[in-house]
Amino acid sequence: MNVAVRLPAHLKADCSACAALCCVIPPFDALQGFGFDKPAETPCQHLCADHRCGIHEALIPRGFEGCVAFDCLGAGQRLTALAVERFGSADWRARPDVARWLFAAYPRMREAQEWLARLTLAATVAGSDELKALATELAAQAPQWPGWSAAEHAGWQARVAAALAPLARE
């Protein structure tokens, strides 16, 4: 069966609503299409003060294919919105407390948002109400994702893996 599935808007990157989190938090590797090596938690040298990319129109010729291909699946704008809600700002340059919180939360947000995308796609392809309900339950917890304990994280990881396992065997 050929099923065309599109991710909903909240599961796609919206860089216009994000504080350029992927341009500062993760490390880059020149061998993976990021132009140069960059340590984690350090702004890209092409990132402008307004959180926009200074070479956006020339990413591929400048060797940044990785930036074109990357999609955080909506984790960036979701985390930016949570920071604004919590601190009144997502300005990691001006607010060290905001930077610490964002930098610590980003990997967890990326992972949980990827689980959400996988569950959402699987629910659509399989026509599964159970998977849809699990995706809805996970999404409802999004404000708590950055503060999950290790046990809560492990619990969700196990639930998502168990829910998706039957589809992987088909």
User: Using the rule CB under 6 A, is 11 a contact of ligand SF4?
Assistant: no
User: Using the rule CB under 6 A, is 76 a contact of ligand SF4?
Assistant: yes
Please tell me the count of residues contacting ligand SF4 according to CB under 6 A. 19
Count the alpha carbons within 13 Å of 31 in the hemisphere toward its beta carbon.
0
Q: Which residue is nearest to ligand SF4, using beta carbons?
A: 76
User: Using the rule CB under 6 A, is 126 a contact of ligand SF4?
Assistant: no
Q: What is the DSSP string of 87-146?
A: HS---TTT-HHHHHHHHHHHHHHHHHHHHHHHHHHHHHHHT-HHHHHHHHHHHHTGGGGG
Choice between 67 and 163, CB closer to ligand SF4: 67
Q: Give the nearest distance from C-beta 155 to ligand SF4 in angstroms.
A: 26
Q: Which stretch binds ligand SF4 (CB under 6 A): 20-28, 91-99, 147-155, 158-166?
A: 20-28
User: Using the rule CB under 6 A, is 102 a contact of ligand SF4?
Assistant: no
How many angstroms separate the CA atoms of 160 and 28, rounded? 29
Q: What residues are paired with 53 via a beta bridge?
A: 47
Q: What is the DSSP string of 2-31?
A: -------GGGS--GGGS--GGGTSS-B-GG
User: Using the rule CB under 6 A, is 64 a contact of ligand SF4?
Assistant: yes
Q: For residue 98, which phi and psi values (nearest 5 degrees)? A: -65, -40
Residue among 11, 26, 46, 156 that touches ligand SF4 (CB under 6 A): 46
Rounded alpha-carbon distances, angstroms, from residue 160 to 52, 114, 129, 150: 34, 11, 14, 15
Q: Which stretch binds ligand SF4 (CB under 6 A): 40-48, 93-101, 111-119, 162-170?
A: 40-48
The residues that touch ligand SF4, with contacts defined as CB under 6 A, are 13-15, 18, 20-23, 44, 46-47, 53, 55, 64, 67, 70, 72, 76-77
